[in-house]
Every structure is written in structure tokens, then in C-alpha cells.
Structure 1
Amino acid sequence: MSIWRRISDFITSTAIDAFSSIIEAVRTAFEGDPETRRRVAFSIAMIALSAKMAKADGIVTQAEVNAFHEIFHVPPQYQDQVSRLYNLAKQDVAGYEAYATQLASLCGTGKPNCKMLEDILDGLFHIAKADGALHDQELIFLGTVAEIFALDEDKFDRILARHVNRGQADPFLVLGISRDASFEEARKQYRALVRENHPDMLIARGVPEEFIAIANQRIAAINAAWEKVEKDLKAYESV
């Protein structure tokens, strides 16, 4: 069953007047079905935090809206329900820190599927950069979410490097290797990242199939970084 059908049925059958109540309702409604709960939790996390982040810099641009829809391919029959969730997230008195804390628990911080929290942060970066710049308030938002998700500085920098050009060190940051790594060390890390970020791996840890655009973009960034690093390391070792 489509994740959007799941969410639509859940919202239709659940009495809600604030987004914070949705999070607890998900925990209860899918208590006996952890796989579906992770998929629904991921989707709701992206909707809620996207809504909050859209105003982080004070302006919601059309580019940010378009980026949201690049990740969220919502069938027409379910768009009203998704819009309802998005608007609730914007209007709820709870701040994004409270959402992120609840969602981290729901998605499994410290548990085997906590990698999914990196996927959520990756999607938020995609939306934040859509207007051509990563604003200071957006970076603060993303950094705070990363801290709540218990993602260390290295992981945050690696995600940041995939989305923001930071100059000469960028491909090494994307791959998570030092500039003095050997060719074999770099290739081993590259292959590990490709395996870890394959779309099938994201699905296995709870990312709905509808959001695999995140995985495809990530793999493209990893491949581009490896192409640059491979060329540089081969040239260096041949000297």
C-alpha cells in the first residue's frame, strides 16, 4: 500500500487539532507494525520539519516549495491531507526543537534504524539550498536538528559538503576521508558509502519508496566526489 494511502487513512481516522498530537497518535496507531511506523514517521518528520524550516529565514520561496515536491511526489488524491499536515506544522505552537525531539524518538535514535535520521536531515538540506543559498538561520536550524538527532559533527559536515560547495576539500569531506588517505583506503571508503546509500538500503531502514530521490541524489554526489578524488590520488601516487 502506498505510504500516502497509509497517511491519508490515518489522518482521516484520527481526531487532531495540533501537530504534536499526530506524533503521539502515530506511535500508538502503529505500535504493532514497526516497519510501517518508521515509514509513516519518516514522512511526517519531513513534512513537519520542512514546514518549520521553510520560514527559518523569514521567506518561503517558490524554489523551496518546488524542492519539497521534488522529494514528495504526492498523488493528487492525497494532496489535501499532506497540505493539512504541512499547515498544522506551521501553525502549532510547538517549536521545531520539540518536533525534532519527538520525531527522533519515533524514528529510533540510538537504535538500528537511526540512519534514517540522516536521511531526514539530507532531505531538509535539499530544500534549504533550493533558493540558491543556505542562509544563516537555516544553517542554525539544520545544526540544531542534527544535535537533537544525535548526529556528530563529522556526519553533519559530510551531509553539508554534499549540498554546499566548500572548495578544494569538498570531495574529501563528501567521502569522509582525509586528504592524505591512500588510494586503496579512499576506494574502500567510497565502495562502503555506495553500499550504505544504495536505494535498497534506505528502503530497508524505513525510507518510503516514494522518497528515493534522496538516495539517487546522494549517490550522484558520492560518485562525483570519487571521480575527483580518484583522479587526484592516482596522479599523486604516480609521481
Structure 2
Amino acid sequence: MSIWRRISDFITSTAIDAFSSIIEAVRTTFEGDPETRRRVAFSIAMIALSAKMAKADGVVSQVEVNAFHEIFHVPQQYQDQVSRLYNLAKQDVAGYEAYATQLASLCGTGKPNCKMLEDVLDGLFHIAKADGALHDKELTFLGTVAEIFQLDEEQFDRILARHAGRGQADPYVVLGLPRDASFEAARKQYRALVRENHPDMLMARGVPEEFIAIANQRIAAINAAWEKVEKDLKAYERV
């Protein structure tokens, strides 16, 4: 059964009065199926937080809507349900901080700093930059969400560098490397990042197939950063 069919059936059977009640219902409805719960939680996190981010920014541009649909190719028969969720989140009086806190608890591992939460933040960055710029209000929103998700400053900076670098991103920041890293340490870090961001790994932690296009962009940024670092370190060793 597709994730959108799961979400549609879930919404249909859930009494909707506030988006926060939907988030809590995900926990109990899919308690015995952690894999489905992770996938549903990821999708609802992206819908809810992108709606709240649009409200925080004050302007919902068509390019941002298009960026959302790049992540989620929702079949026609389920688009009304997704739009219903998006509008409910946007209109709900609850702040995005409350949503982020609830959604973090649905990560699925029971541990802080779940990798899936990095995936959510990555998707939000993709939507935020779609109009060609990361605005101050959007960066404040994204920074606060990262704190609630218990992502540290290095993790946030790594994601920011991939999205805001415009091809000029600092490769050491993208790879999370200190400036004095040895070649072996740098290569080990690079291989670890490629391994943990492989599409199979993302799907295993609950990321829907539609998000894999963003994962491929992430891998491309990691590979490009490694090419620069590898060249830099090899040149240093020859000196």
C-alpha cells in the first residue's frame, strides 16, 4: 500500500480538529508498525513544517509550491487530503515550535538526533531556497527547528552549506571536517557520509521514495566537496 493511501485512510478515520491532534494520533494508530509510522511521520512533518514556514515567511511563492511537489509527487486522488493537511497546519494557532517538538518524538528510534530529522530539515531547506534566496525569517525558522530536533551547530552548518553555497560552499563545512584533518581521516568521514546518505539507508529510516531526488542532490554535494578536499590534501602532502 502506498504511503499516500496510508495517510489518506488515516486522515479519513481521524477526527480532525487541530493539527496537533493528528500528530498524536499517528503515534497511537501506527504503534505496532514502526516502519509505517516513520514514513507517515516524515511526510506529515514535511507537510506541517513547510506550511508553518510559508506562514512565517509571509509569502507562499509558486516556486516554493513547486519545490514541495519535487519532494512529494502526490497522486491526483490524494491531493485533496494533502492540501487539507497543509491548510490545517497553516491555520492552526499552535506555533511551529510545538509541531517540531511533537514530530521529533515520532522519529521512530526513541533516540535524540534521529537521522530522519536531518532529512526533514534538508527538505525544508530545499523548499526555502526555491525562490533563489534564504530569507532571514526562514533561517530563523530553520535554526529553531534544528535546535528542537537536537541537531548541533555543525550539523546545521553542514546542511546550510550544501543549500546556500551556490557552488561555492566550503567543502570542509559540507563534509564536517576540521581544517587540520589528515587525508585518511577526511576520506573516512567522506565514506561515512556517502554510506549514511545512500538512498537505501534513507528509505530504511522512513524517507519516502519521492525524497530520493533530494538525497541524490545531497550525495552530489558531498562528492563535489570531497573532490576539492582530496585535491587540497594531496597537494599539501606533496609540499
TM range (shorter): over 0.9
How far, CA to CA, are the matches of 2:172 and 2:73 in structure 1? Answer: 32
How far, CA to CA, are the matches of 1:170 and 1:116 in structure 2? Answer: 24
Task: Indicate how the Cα distance of structure 1 residues 38 and 143 shifts in structure 2: closer, same or farther if over 3 A, else same.
Answer: same
Task: Give how far 1:14 is off.
Answer: 1.4
Matching residue of 2:212? 212
Task: Give how far 1:56 is off.
Answer: 2.2
Task: Indicate how the Cα distance of structure 1 residues 72 and 212 shifts in structure 2: closer, same or farther if over 3 A, else same.
Answer: same
How far, CA to CA, are the matches of 1:145 and 1:108 in structure 2? Answer: 18
Task: Give how far 1:167 is off.
Answer: 8.7
Aligned 8 A contact 1:45 1:103 in 2: yes
Aligned 8 A contact 1:172 1:225 in 2: yes
Task: Indicate how the Cα distance of structure 1 residues 12 and 110 shifts in structure 2: closer, same or farther if over 3 A, else same.
Answer: closer
How far, CA to CA, are the matches of 2:47 and 2:180 in structure 1? Answer: 40
Task: Indicate how the Cα distance of structure 1 residues 29 and 132 shifts in structure 2: closer, same or farther if over 3 A, else same.
Answer: same
Aligned 8 A contact 1:42 1:116 in 2: yes
Task: Give how far 1:205 is off.
Answer: 1.2
1:110 is paired with a residue of what secondary structure? coil
- The superposition leaves residues 95-128 of structure 1 with CA deviations (integer Å, 9 ceiling, x where unpaired) of 1001001101112475288110111001001111
How far, CA to CA, are the matches of 1:113 and 1:165 in structure 2? Answer: 24
Identify the range of structure 1 (175-184 vs 112-121) with the bigger mean alpha-carbon deviation: 112-121
Task: Give how far 1:129 is off.
Answer: 0.8
Aligned 8 A contact 1:51 1:90 in 2: yes
Structure 1 residues not aligned, in runs of 5+: none
Q: TM-score, normalised by structure 1?
A: 0.95
How far, CA to CA, are the matches of 2:118 and 2:168 in structure 1? Answer: 24
How far, CA to CA, are the matches of 1:135 and 1:230 in structure 2? Answer: 33
How far, CA to CA, are the matches of 2:108 and 2:137 in structure 1? Answer: 27
- The superposition leaves residues 194-233 of structure 1 with CA deviations (integer Å, 9 ceiling, x where unpaired) of 0010011111111122221221111111011111111222
How far, CA to CA, are the matches of 1:171 and 1:194 in structure 2? Answer: 14
Task: Indicate how the Cα distance of structure 1 residues 94 and 165 shifts in structure 2: closer, same or farther if over 3 A, else same.
Answer: same
How far, CA to CA, are the matches of 1:141 and 1:31 in structure 2? Answer: 30
How far, CA to CA, are the matches of 2:169 and 2:218 in structure 1? Answer: 18
Matching residue of 2:156? 156
How far, CA to CA, are the matches of 1:169 and 1:66 in structure 2? Answer: 24
Aligned 8 A contact 1:113 1:205 in 2: no
Identity among equivalent pairs (%): 92
Task: Indicate how the Cα distance of structure 1 residues 134 and 200 shifts in structure 2: closer, same or farther if over 3 A, else same.
Answer: same
1:83 aligns with 2:83: yes
How far, CA to CA, are the matches of 1:66 and 1:121 in structure 2? Answer: 17
C-alpha RMSD of the superposition: 1.7
How far, CA to CA, are the matches of 2:130 and 2:167 in structure 1? Answer: 19
Task: Indicate how the Cα distance of structure 1 residues 28 and 138 shifts in structure 2: closer, same or farther if over 3 A, else same.
Answer: same
Task: Give how far 1:55 is off.
Answer: 2.5
Matching residue of 1:133? 133
Matched residues, number: 239
- The superposition leaves residues 72-93 of structure 1 with CA deviations (integer Å, 9 ceiling, x where unpaired) of 1111111111111100000111
